[in-house]
Each structure stands twice: as C-alpha cells, then as structure tokens.
Amino acid sequence: MNSAKYHVQTINYKNYTVRVVDPALQLHNCSSLPLHSLSRSNFSDTYYNPYYTDTYQAVLNAYDNEESLTLIFEHIVFVNCKHSVRENVKYVKTEERVKWDSKGYAYAVGGDLKAADLEVGCDIKLVALTSLRTFNNHSYTSMHSSLAYGFEISWVKLACQNCLLSSTYCYFDSSIQELQYCNLDEWILKQVSHTN
C-alpha cells in the first residue's frame, strides 16, 4: 500500500476489512516507530466520494438513514520541539524512548493536530494511524500499544466493482452485515436534495 509493505493482522471477510500494522512496530518496544508517515489523506478523497479510485478506503460514510460501515482512524502525531512543552496537555512526553536526529524534546499527540495546536519551535516528524480509538491520550505507552494494534482499511470497492460499472451504487450496511445496492441516479438526487 503506497509502495510500502504492512503486516496483515486480521482479515474480516464479513465486513470487507483488513487490519494491518507497520512492520517496524514492536508491541513491547516503545522505541519502535512506523517506517512511513500515513494519514487519512493518503487514502485520497474516499471520505465522501462514491467514485473513489483507490483500492483501499479509509472511510465508508453513512448516508441519510442508511447505516453503513464507518472506519475512522485516530492519528498519533510525533513532534520534536526545541523547548519543553509543559502547558499543552495534548503533548505527551515519549520519556526518552523516541529520539530524532535533531536535538530537542520528543512528544506524541493523540488525535488530530490542528495548526493552532502546533507549538512554536515544534516540527512534525511522523504521522501514524490506529483504529484502536480507546487509547489513553495521556500515556505514551498506551499510544504506542494502539499503533502496534494497527489500523483497518476496507476493500469494499473491490466487492462492489461489478455494480460500479453499471448505474448502481453499492455500500456496506453494517446493521445486516451485507452489501446493498441502489440506483445511482436516485442516490445522487437523494444526496443533492439532502444537502440543499
């Protein structure tokens, strides 16, 4: 995926997902880090676009009353700062486990890091994904364990490939654990009227 190899942890054929983990991550070694930065943006415009082009999707959204599978990642952002950050509770010290080539202080931030949250003198070094969203945002050990858990992606596009060639829209309905099909023209009209 994105010219990088990942270890497959689990494959769920019922809901068309696979959970993968970066091969450099070791569960009980908090100094181990992913080899590659990866965020939701690496999955192109799959959030809201039914005409997605990537093989793997990051998110399959629910439209109107349809309950479809939603795969949402949490980011864990690694930053290196020239000074100690004490006032921002989002910044969790990596306790000397993570060292970058440059001097400074290493931190991990759980969740999305907005531009306003980036402290002066800090640089983003790595962005990683996890689908385990129950980690403790105030514990680096917990954050690292969630990275070692990995993240889920969906291959429902491949399952829906035949209907996407026709005028049918395909989605996964998690309430009944099945692919559902509807007329694409009707679906587009429904989306346009819903947004107006």
Range of the domain at 18: 7-195
**Do 15 and 174 form a contact (C-beta atoms < 8 A)?**
yes
Q: How far apart are CA 120 and CA 83, in angstroms?
A: 9
Choose among 152, 132, 158: nearest CA to 144.
Answer: 132
Count the residues in the chain: 196
In a domain? residue 2: no
- For the record, the structure tokens of 69 come out as 């599978």
Contacts of 61 (CB under 8 A, 6+ apart): 47, 48, 68, 70
In a domain? residue 123: yes
In a domain? residue 185: yes
In a domain? residue 51: yes
What mean pLDDT, rounded, does the chain reach?
78
For the chain, what is the domain count?
1
In a domain? residue 98: yes
The region, left, alpha or beta by phi > 0 then psi within -120 to 50, assigned to residue 44 is left
Kindly report the pTM of this predicted structure: 0.74
Query: What pLDDT sits at residue 46?
Result: 44
Q: Give the mean pLDDT of 136-152.
A: 93
Q: How far apart are CA 98 and CA 85, in angstroms?
A: 16
In a domain? residue 1: no
Average the pLDDT over each of 1-10, 46-55, 80-89, 121-130 and give the range with the smallest value: 46-55
| Residue 83 C-alpha from the chain's centroid | 29
